[in-house]
Structures are given as C-alpha cells and as structure tokens.
Structure 1
C-alpha cells in the first residue's frame, strides 16, 4: 500500500487541478481515490460535487484509452489507480478482457444501469450515453428522403451521391458504428454498405465539429454525428441550420455508445471506488452528463433541455463484445471498401 500511495503522490503532478484533487504542497496527503481517465469532458464539476457530498477526495491521471490501459498493465499490483474510466464500450470490454477490472456486486448499479450498458460480470458500468445518428441541412434535405428502417445503410442510395459527409476511418466513432453494422448484418452486407458510402463520394471530415459546420454551410447535405456536438452548436447559436434525425426507428434503432468506469483490480480503496461509481450512476448522473449534453444511462434521470428537445428515440441494443471483438474487423473492412 505504501508504494501505491507513493506512486499516487507522484502522479498528483499530472492531475487536472490541485484544488479538485487535493494535491498541493509537497508532503500533502494524496487523494482518497485515483482515477485513470480517458474521458475529458467537464470532470471537475461532477467530482467536486461528489467530494463535497461524501468527503472522499479524487484525483485524475488523464490520457488516451490505450495509453492508460497499458499503464495499468505495466504497473500491475503497484498501480495507484482505483477506477478506470474510458469512452467506448469496446475499450471497457478490452480492459475487462485483460483482467484489469474487478467484479463489483452492486444492486445499486444493477438497478440503475440497463443490462446491455453494463458488463454481465459487473466489471464495468456505462455512465453516459451518446447517440451517433443522422444530421442534415433542412434547406437541402426533406426527411422523407431517409430510409426509416435502415437509415445508415440507406445512405448508399445514389440520390446521396456528392451530398454525404462522414468521419474518417481512424475515428473510434466510425469504427464502433461499423462494428455494430457487422454485428447486425454480417460482414458481407456491412462491406456493401461501406462501399456504397464510398461510391457516393463521401466527403471525409477529421472531426464532428467540422462536419456540422459543413452541413450548416450547405457544403454537405447529410452526415452522421454524435448528438451532443449538435446540441453544443445549438447552445452557442440557436439558429444553427442543422437538424437531427433519429436513425433506423422502423428497424434496429439508432447506434449508441457509452462512457463508463470499472473498479481497478487490486485497488486498495475498493469501498470508496464503488461508492463513486454508484454515485455517478444515480445521484450524480446529471452532474456527470449534462455539461457535455450526453444522455444519462439511468432511466430515472432526465436529459438536459436541448437534447430532450431532440425527442425520444429507440436505440440499437449495445453489444460491447461486438464493439471490442469486431473492432479490428471493422478497420479491415473500411480499408477493403476504400473508405479513408
């Protein structure tokens, strides 16, 4: 334990803020919980509220998903981490598969988080949900043009040629969407879909913000975005000329993904770590998701006003095993289709 806490004190140097984490002068007591977090959205408010309510102090080590997972593996039992927090269900699946996450037996979490948004063995739990769906310029597109049952596949229709914008093949958003299509349709049809996007001269964008700006300008007519990027744009500019369409409502539903967390195997403060994850899934749900305008995973929590205005939607059931296990297949499929 001494070595873990010594490492934690050193790690304090890279934490987000001294005020939040309790890292201050040399010799200061390290925080109660160390979180390795690949999630970078407005963490201070939610975790500051958790500390105020519980007295449990928190510090963060931030980094990329793969980087932090490799760090956990390298540190082994000497890791100072108590909680691993990441984006994308495939990353959570991968951390559990590599035995870096411990099983939690929590009726609170099982009640708060829908079954497909948590690990069956209790090694990770979804905490925030994002929908990757259709966005469009309403002066260029009539919603009657969209395939109501298979909207993602429907973008292969030649009528969308030269009108379509999407994210690059290296984006985890693109890879998870394609992995879900492989899981839903099988590889052959998923490959046909990706080839259809390419045949329609899809314009590739490096991020969702640029994609939305292109839609607003009319450079693209239709795209695929995470819902919260549009919500942010609307918050900044209510007259922003882009609307959202919930994909595949007459079919499998809209593709969703999650950010989530799990207890690190070997944590020496498992009790407080469980309290934190339970708080984030219940009392702290809105504090955790609202600032980034994500959807709460807990059905009892209400979404913030702008995304509530998008209306209710049927979501595609999330299959974390597929998102993780089929990620490499999705990358290969995109390359074979000529999707850049």
Structure 2
C-alpha cells in the first residue's frame, strides 16, 4: 500500500501545476471575453488536483479494481487526506473533466529529457478477448484488429520512446492495425529527439531511416536473416542488445500499472486509465536503466589531415 507521505508529495506537485494552469486559463478568458458579464463558474467539491492524485495512486498501488480502491483506501484509509471525497459513481462521472489538465501535467512535468540515446517500441492494448470481438460495443468503430509477435488481438497500440535512464520521452496511441513504421506518428514522437534511436526489426524501413536521418536522428535496428550485414560500432551493437529496457517498461506498465485490461465501460475512462498508468510509472522511485560509463583504455590513435 502507498504511504500517505508519497500521496502528499504527488498531490503537492499536481496541485502546483493545476493552480498555474487555472491562472493561465482565467487570463486567456479575460483577454478573449472581457469582464463585462458574470459567468457561472461553479466548482466541484473535489479539485482537479485531488482527482488526478487519486488516479495516480491507484496505478501506483497493487489494487486490481478501482471500485475497491476508492471505497476502502480513499474513503477509508486516506479519509483525512481527502475529507470531501465524493461517492464512487459521482467520481467516475467527474474524472473525465480533468482530462486536459491530466494530459498537460503528464507532458510537461512527468516526461524526461532526451540524452542522445533513445529506445522505441510499441505494445498492444487489448480491449476484449478475440472470442468476444463481434459482441464488443464500447470501442466499436475505434478499435481494430491487429497482429503482433504474440498473435492476433483487438484493440489499440501504445507507442513509447524512452532514454537509457528508463524515463519516458514521448508516447502515441494508434489503432491496432496501424503499422509501427507509420511516418505520421513517428514524426510526432521524435520531434524533440536527437542522437541515436534503437528499435526492433518491426521498424526496418529505408524511407523511415532517411526521414529520421534528415531530422538529426540515426536509427539502429537488427537485420533480418536475408539481409546483408552492415558495419556498426561496438558501442552501438552493445546498446542495440540492451533494447530490452523498453520491453521491461512495457511489462511494468501492463502488470503493475494496469495500462491494459478488458473491463472498460467508456472511451473516456479508457483514456484516463492510460494517462494514470503513464503518470504513475513516472513516479516510480526505481526505473529500469542502463549504467553507461565510458572507459579510457589509454590507447593512442593517429589522425592524418
């Protein structure tokens, strides 16, 4: 179970961001509409910062169902931290109102910075079992069938980019039938990246390599059996073997943060679940990382002009 000190620390960071966001929104409304008429601005009993903190706390803990977590932990064990807690049904209705603030908080405060070494991969988000595809109605028209290395599935794909410290740099959500090499979403994911990008065989594409190279990013992938070998530095070969770091992140997101489950009853709550999972991972005290150190072997190299 998460300690109260941890929840308090998360709430302080979220609350500071929400206050800054509210002040900016008020200033923009004043400039656009003026202050001639009085407009209704009724606030909920629970603030956006409290709702976001509760969502992050659920994905940080080991709870499997949000209903049990909210009723037993939030309304019970953390009653002094959230004295104005709403009923469970009302909280589910109100949590989608915090989507914009939650998404901005994740982008501005939770994501890491590029260090020149990045890893990219995608993972499947199944919304139902394959036997129930024809009866599924929640994501009808949104989710699509796709195929991964683990077989066929029905749902979405979550594309992630991380650095060698295990920090998330960017993410993108697509339908299940979208190719990993789609230049549209890769262009958006790599806008603020530079240096070297390591990925699996699913990202093998000459056009993609040329597009990223023009943006100052060098793509490294493993080769297929029928492809000729290319000369590569030993440092890059070692980093390519360490691409399992992003596989570990996908595993923690699915098994610990519960980014994937088949109990969704609305699209809005599905999106809030993804934001909560990614934000909770960013608050992990220990992330999978690589301890990279360059050793000077003392050898001398001659260079000719």
Short-chain TM bin: under 0.3
Asked which structure has the greater RCO (Cα within 8 Å, sep 6+), the reply is: 1
Q: Which has the larger radius of gyration?
A: 2
